[in-house]
Amino acid sequence: MTTLPLRVVPRRFNFGRSGRIVERNLLVYRHLWGVLISGFFEPVFYLFSITVGFGALVGDITMPNGQVVSYAAFAAPALLAASAMNGPVFESFGIFFKLKYMRTYEGILATPLTPRDIAIGEITWSQMRGALYATAFVVVMWAMGLILSPWGLLAIPAAMLTGFAFGAVGMAATTYMRSWQDFDLIFVVTLPMFLFSATFYPLEIYPDWLQIVARFSPLYQSVDLLRGLVLGVIDWSMLGHIAFLVAMLISGLIMAGRRVEKLLVT
């Protein structure tokens, strides 16, 4: 038998295989233009509301470095970060459904694909949509004059990194969900994070203890990173934020792969 060559091929990461999960989802969503259209209107509505609403009430914001920016320019990158976080949260409902109620993954695992391929493929797919959203968001921000520095272009990959990090951790978390009710827990975590990660006002306004807590919030990493890029305030702390998000991404991926394996390979 010609099995010897197969034996010596090491087990290795095979991106092509997880790409096929992306292909499957493309086939499923081929006709769902609504998803893309909502991806465009969501930032428009958000940005419009902070520009004409809050922006008019709050006035300008003075940054720690003395820079004075409009409230809209201050809040817009934070909303981009929050939207990058929320995308995978909603995606996780679909993944839960597939894990729990559909036998689709079971059918997929009878092919050369592995649980890890499924985890990586689903997260990649969710982030391809995330990338589209982020691009639309940044384009709308730019059109509204809210991108104050050429560094702002890097907000797109930074938002994608955010989405990947939350997507990976979110998928891992989804595998622990027993019922739809458990999803309330996700909002118990993400809602305060959304409100208290220097999203709507500078960190310096919070009481000291909350400042310390907020600095360790995953969303804060993304908010501060995106805000710095969009406003053109570049410093070394950004590397710390990136490292935090990358660590989230990697540990989330490993965890998600293991958990999917535990659930589906018995």
Partner 1 sequence: MPSDSLVVAKGLTKRFGDFVAVDNIDFEVRSGEAFGFLGPNGAGKSSTMRIIGATSPASDGFIEVLGLDPEFHGSEIRQRLGVVPQEDNLDPELPVDANLIIYGRYFGLSRSLIKERIEELLAFAQLSDRAKDKVDSLSGGMKRRLTIARSLINQPDLLLLDEPTTGLDPQARHLLWDRLYRLKQDGVTLIITTHYMDEAEQLCDRLVVMDGGKIVAEGSPAALIQKHSPREVVEVRFPVGVQEGVVNRLEDLGSRIEALPDRVLLYTDDGDRAAEEIHKRGLFPETILTRRSTLEDVFLKLTGRTLVD
Binders in 19-58 for partner 1, by CB under 8 A: 20, 23-24, 27-28
Binding residue for partner 1, selected from 7, 34, 181, 204, defined by CB under 8 A = 7
Span of 10-18, 71-79, 144-152, 179-187 interacting with partner 1 by CB under 8 A: 10-18
Q: Is 8 in the site for partner 1 (CB under 8 A)?
A: no
Count residues contacting partner 1 (CB under 8 A)?
Answer: 27
Task: Identify residues 196-225 at the interface with partner 1 (CB under 8 A).
Answer: none
* Residue 21 · residue 112 · CB < 8 Å: no
Rounded to an integer, what distance in angstroms lies between the CA atom of residue 154 and that of residue 158? 6
Q: Select from 212, 234, 246, 265 the one that contacts partner 1 (CB under 8 A).
A: 265
DSSP string, 16-82: HHHHHHHHHHHHHTTT-HHHHHHHHHHHHHHHHIIIIIIHHHH-EEE-TTS-EEEHHHHHHHHHHHH
The only residue of 57, 65, 110, 236 in contact with partner 1, by rule CB under 8 A: 110
From the list 178, 200, 173, 207, the residue with the least C-alpha distance to 188 is 173
* CA distances (Å), origin 251, targets 159, 168, 245: 18, 8, 10
Asked if residue 95 binds partner 1 (CB under 8 A), the reply is no
- State the minimum distance, in angstroms, from the CB of residue 21 to partner 1: 9
104 binds partner 1 (CB under 8 A): yes
Tell the smallest beta-carbon distance from residue 12 to partner 1 (Å).
10
Residue 164 C-beta: closest distance to partner 1, Å: 23
Q: Which is nearer to partner 1, 118 or 249 (CB)?
A: 118
| Cβ nearer to partner 1, comparing 21 with 80 | 21
Can you tell me which residue has the tokens 């797109």?
A: 156
* Torsion (CA) 99, 85, 215, 60 in degrees, nearest 10: -160
Say which residues have a Cβ less than 8 Å from residue 251's Cβ, sequence separation at least 6: 168, 169
Query: What does residue 3 show for φ and ψ, rounded to 5 degrees?
Result: -95, -15
> Which one, 84 or 108, has the nearer CB to partner 1?
108
> Are the C-beta atoms of residues 117 and 18 closer than 8 Å to each other?
yes
Residue span binding partner 1 (CB under 8 A) among the ranges 39-47, 85-93, 97-105, 250-258? 97-105
Q: How far is the CB of 33 from partner 1 (least distance, A)?
A: 17
Relative orientation angle of helices 155-174 and 237-264, to the nearest 10 degrees: 30
Which residues bind to partner 1, rule: CB under 8 A? 1, 3, 6-7, 9, 11, 16-17, 20, 23-24, 27-28, 102-104, 106-114, 265-266
